[in-house]
Amino acid sequence: MSNESDRNEGAAEEMGGKLKKGLGKLLGDEQMEAEGRAKELKGRVQQEDAKADERARGALEEAAGAIKNRIGKLVDNEQMAAEGKAKELRGEDRQKANQ
């Protein structure tokens, strides 16, 4: 399953939990309310897990790009250095987008 679908599934789980929790509160059903809260938290955890995975992928992409950039500069290959820098920046953006 992709991280995007994990995040979407987590958001849906969280929303379903909020609804169940609210309905349990409205009906005075403590068990339903607790189940809703648990479902809500499960959804949040799932979303955070997907974001952490994306941050890790971004860090790897950033590191690989930095290495390629430095090697490109070392061997005086401007294209390689530019590609590395672009990859490094994509990695940074990926990490920032998943904070």
Query: Rounded to the nearest 5 degrees, what angle is found at the Cα of 76, between the Cα atoms of 73 and 80?
Result: 65
Per-residue pLDDT of 56-91, as tens digits, reads 999 999 999 999 999 999 999 999 999 999 999 999
Q: Token pair for residue 68?
A: 């390629």
Domain residues of the chain, as ranges?
A: 3-97
Q: What mean pLDDT comes out for the span 13-19?
A: 96
Overall size of the chain counted in residues: 99
